[in-house]
Amino acid sequence: MNVIAYLIPISIILGGIGLLGFVFTVKSRQYEDPEGDAQRILSGDYDDKPKA
């Protein structure tokens, strides 16, 4: 049973990392243009190097 002493904190920390990632995406306004983002993936504009 001692294994849960590791597993529970690990599961909470992993979930917390996901939450932090989500908070970051909201703060940096990545949900302002969902349709545009879906379309931009089809363009080859910045395939070789990211936009400066």
Partner 1 sequence: MTAPMRPQASACPACAAAPAAEALAELDKPTEADIMLSLPAIHCSACISTIERALNAAPGVHNARVNLTLKRAQIEADPGLTAADMIAVVNGVGYEAHELDAGALRATATDRAGRDLLMRLAVAGFAAMNVMLLSIAVWSGAEGATRDMFHWISAAITLPAIGFSAQPFFRNAWKALSARQLNMDVPISLAILLAVGTSLWETTLSGEHAYFDAAIALTFFLLAGRYLDHRTRAIARSAAEELAALEVPRAWRLDEKGEEQQVSVADLKVGDLIRVRPGGRMPVDGEIVFGQSELDRSLLTGETLPVYAAPGQKVSAGEVNLTGPLTIRASAVGRDTSLHRMADLVAIAESGRSRYTSLADKAAQLYAPGVHILSALAFVGWYLYTWDARVAINIAAAVLIITCPCALGLAVPAVTTAASGRLFRKGLLIKDSTALERLAQIDTVVFDKTGTLTTGTPDLANLGDFTRVELEVALALAEGSSHPLSVALTAAARAHGITPAPLDNLGEIPGYGTEATWQGRTVRLGRAAWVGGGQTRQTSAWLAIGDDPARPFLFTDSLRDGAAEAVQALQDMGKKVILLSGDTPSAVEDLAKRLGIPQWASECLPQDKSARIQSLTDKGQKVLMVGDGLNDTAALAGAHVSISPASALDAARVASDIVLLGSDLSPLPDAVKTAQSATRRIRENFTIATWYNIIAVPLAIAGLCSPLIAALAMSASSITVSLNALRLR
Query: What is the binding site for partner 1 (CB under 8 A)?
Result: 1, 8, 11-12, 15-16, 18-20, 22-24, 26-29, 31-36, 39-43, 45
Integer angstrom CA distances of residue 8 from 3, 11, 24, 40, 42: 9, 5, 24, 39, 41
Residue 32: CB minimum distance to partner 1, A: 7
Half-sphere exposure at residue 42, Cβ-oriented, CA atoms within 13 angstroms? 4
**Beta carbon nearer to partner 1, 6 or 28:** 28
Residue 26: CB minimum distance to partner 1, A: 5
